[in-house]
Structures are given as C-alpha cells and as structure tokens.
C-alpha cells in the first residue's frame, strides 16, 4: 500500500509525516511522532484516553485517520502546559489528587479543557456529562469533578 503524505499543525508546530491509508491518528501520534501522551484504552471510541482536539473540537484520535489530519490543527496533552507553566487544570488535578494511576489523565485533561472553553461556568452536572466520554477506573471521578470545578473558578477569576 502506498503511504500518504500529510502536513498538519500539532500544538502550534508544523509537522510533516507519511502514514498508511488505514492508520489512525492515534497510531501516528504515538508510533510515528513519539507523542505518547494520548493513550489507547480501547481503540473503539469508548474510553476517551486518546482524546485530542482537531481544529478545536474534542475528538477520539483512535477514530480518526492520520490522513484526515492534513491541513488541520491538532492539540494534544503535550501542548497543554505553556513551557514550564502548567495549565490551571493540570495544577488543580495535582492539588486535588484527581489521578491515581494517571492513564486516563491526559485524555480527561484535554476533554476538560475543551469543556471549559465551551462552558466556562459549568455546574457539577454539566462537568459530569462533559466528561462522560472519558473513563477513569481508579478515582470514582469525585476528585476529578472537584478539580475541574475549581480550575473553572480560578480561570474565571483570571
């Protein structure tokens, strides 16, 4: 099969790669570009561990082909902190102990950031439904919800 050449922007940087026609964006990120922050929990769109944004829209990267990223802008967990300054969500996740094993954390942070961009003042219920596509097996979500609400409040004040 012939490879496809793709030019895209990832976390603000222009990136070129070649991939197979049937290769997912998640596989491209992880296996070709060394961006292993996005995780594969299921590869069927059910766990959210592979969450990224494409042109600002929250997406499961396991459900998108690498070839489809051509000309788009991809955001991954690796681009969330600005230099050594953590995003408020990242800081609040640490302060609230909102992770145990941390495998779900990159996906949940990407999803939470996208949620707060669309709804800066979510209720608890809105946070819960906003994160319903991201599985966490360790925490029972309690501390995750608290961390997101707290980060939202801090971001509104800033």
Which residues contribute to the site for another protein (CB under 8 A)? 20, 30, 35-44, 46-47, 49, 76-78, 80-81, 86, 90, 93-97, 99-106, 109, 124-125, 127-129, 131-145
Site residues (vs ligand FES, CB under 6 A): 40-43, 45-50, 60, 62, 99-104, 136-139
> Position of tokens 């145990």?
100
| Residue 54 or 138 having the CB closest to another protein | 138
| Residue 73 or 78 having the CB closest to another protein | 78
Binding-site partner at residue 50 among ligand FES, another protein, none, CB < 5 to 8 Å by type: ligand FES
| Residue 6 or 79 having the CB closest to another protein | 79
| Residue 3 or 71 having the CB closest to another protein | 3
β-strand 4-10 against 13-19: which pairing, if any? antiparallel
Considering only CA atoms, which of 70, 68, 155, 76 is closest in space to residue 119?
Answer: 155
In whole angstroms, how close is the CB of 102 to another protein at the nearest point? 3
Crossing angle of helices 105-118 and 88-95, rounded to 10°: 130
């Amino acid at each position: 099969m012939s490879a496809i050449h793709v030019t895209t922007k990832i976390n603000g940087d222009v990136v070129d790669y070649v991939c197979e026609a049937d290769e997912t964006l998640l596989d491209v990120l992880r296996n070709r570009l060394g961006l292993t922050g996005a995780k594969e929990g299921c590869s069927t769109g059910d766990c959210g561990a592979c969450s990224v944004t494409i042109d600002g829209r929250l997406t499961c990267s396991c459900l998108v082909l690498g070839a489809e990223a051509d000309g788009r802008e991809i955001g991954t967990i690796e681009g969330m902190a600005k230099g050594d300054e953590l995003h408020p969500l990242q800081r609040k996740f640490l302060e609230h102990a909102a992770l145990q094993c941390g495998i779900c954390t990159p996906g949940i942070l990407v999803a939470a950031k996208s949620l707060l961009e669309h709804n800066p003042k979510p209720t608890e219920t809105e946070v819960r439904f906003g994160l319903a596509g991201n599985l966490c097996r360790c925490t029972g979500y309690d501390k995750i919800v608290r961390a997101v609400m707290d980060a939202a409040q801090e971001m509104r004040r800033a």
